[in-house]
Every structure is written in structure tokens, then in C-alpha cells.
Amino acid sequence: MRPLGLPGTDLGVEGECRGRRRGARWAVVLLLLAASAGQGVADGAESEPNPRLTVFRAWLDREHGGYGCDEGPAPFRNRAVDAAYPGQRFFYVLTYTRGIPPPYAKSLSLVAAIDDSERVIPFRPGSPETYRRGLKRVSSKTDAKTAAAALLTLASCDPAGRRWAYTPESFKVKKDSKGWKCTYRYDKSFESWVRFDRAGTFQEFGGSAPPVP
């Protein structure tokens, strides 16, 4: 006697095949449900409080009280930056470039590192030394492209590259007796550049980007 309630148990071989197909479909559904449950756990783990982000928020409130921004405070995640600054933890706020008047009374765009002692170390566009901390030395054209992309991405305060994606592949590199010069061209009229000395140490960046439309 066949047990009751199993799919395809009453139509001979044909019913048995249909039963197997139904069983297979149910197995797929169960696997998808299990995967969804697992994804939920992973998402929950990502959404757990980040102690360094809490430190960054407190620092912003203390140093830039009443600031406004369009993105952040949040971790700064970018592939070139991760490669050029291994092991570093960066956080940011970003205000989108607009016309006049500014969108907030105290608009803020800023990137900062937070070390193991929970010290907040902001990047200062006018201070190259703040960009050297934790940056790998350049020893090849590939290194130079990656570092240049990371540096201009950090200077833009925009990890996603909303206006310009500073990918390593988009840079041209020229090496001479003084070191490396990496150039990013926006169009025929505008370009930005990054310089490294012969020892592979970042020296400066400069240039100009097209005006905001």
C-alpha cells in the first residue's frame, strides 16, 4: 500500500514521474527559502553597529556642528582605495555639487581615517602629508595608476564616482627621472594629475575638472 498524501502516488509510472517533478520543484523552493534566510542573517550582520562609524559621527558633531550633507556619515568603500591603502578604515560625508545657493547652511564633504586608537584623521586637500598615511609606495605603472585613482577618489569624497569614476584604467602614466606622473583627462580642455617621486612617494595632485552644468 502506498502512503497517502505523497504527490503522484495514484497514477502509476506517469503519476510517479509527475510526483518526482513536483518533489523537485518543492526542493528548489525549499532551497530558495533557505538561501533567503541565510541572506537575511548576512544582511543583519552587516547592519550591526560599527564602532568606528559611531566615533566618526561624534567627531563630526563636535568639529562640524550643524553640518549638512547628501551622503553619510558612512564607511568609504572603493576598490582602488582599498588596494592602495590596505588595512585602512575610511569614513565620509558628501554634499553633491550644485549651483548657488548651497543646499545647506554648513555643507560638508570630508573623508577621514580612523585608527586602532579610534583617532579621527581627516584628509586635507591642501596637505599632501595627510594622504601619505597608509598609502603603498609606487614601484610600477600599475601601482601608480591604482594609487592615483585612490588619491583623486579620496579628494573627491565620492566613493561611487557619481560624476567621474577615477578607475586605474582611466589614467595615463609617464615615468621620467623625477618619478611618475599620472594624468586623468575629463575632455580636451580639462585634466587632473598626480605625481609620485622616484622613491614612489606621493608628492602632490592638481588640475581642474569641467564646471558643474
User: Tell me: the pLDDT tens digits for 20-69?
Assistant: 334 444 443 333 333 443 433 333 334 567 899 999 999 999 999 999 99
Q: Are residues 29 and 91 in the same domain?
A: no
Q: Are residues 16 and 109 in the same domain?
A: no
Asked if 144 and 184 count as a contact pair (C-beta separation under 8 A), the reply is no
User: Residue 122 CB: number of other CB atoms within 10 A?
Assistant: 16
Q: Are residues 69 and 98 in the same domain?
A: yes
pLDDT, average across residues 187-213: 93
What range does the domain containing 120 cover? 51-207
- pTM of whole model > 0.85? no
Query: How far does the chain reach from its first CA to its final CA, in angstroms?
Result: 78
Q: Is residue 212 situated within a structural domain?
A: no
Q: How many independent structural domains does the chain possess? A: 2
Residue 162, SS3 per DSSP: coil
The string of pLDDT tens digits covering residues 116-170 is: 999 999 999 889 999 999 999 999 999 999 999 999 999 999 999 999 999 999 9
The three three-digit cell numbers of residue 98, written as one number: 550644485
b/e code 204-213 from CB counts within 10 Å (16+ = b):
ebeeebeeee
2 contacts: CB under 8 Å, gap ≥ 6: 9, 10
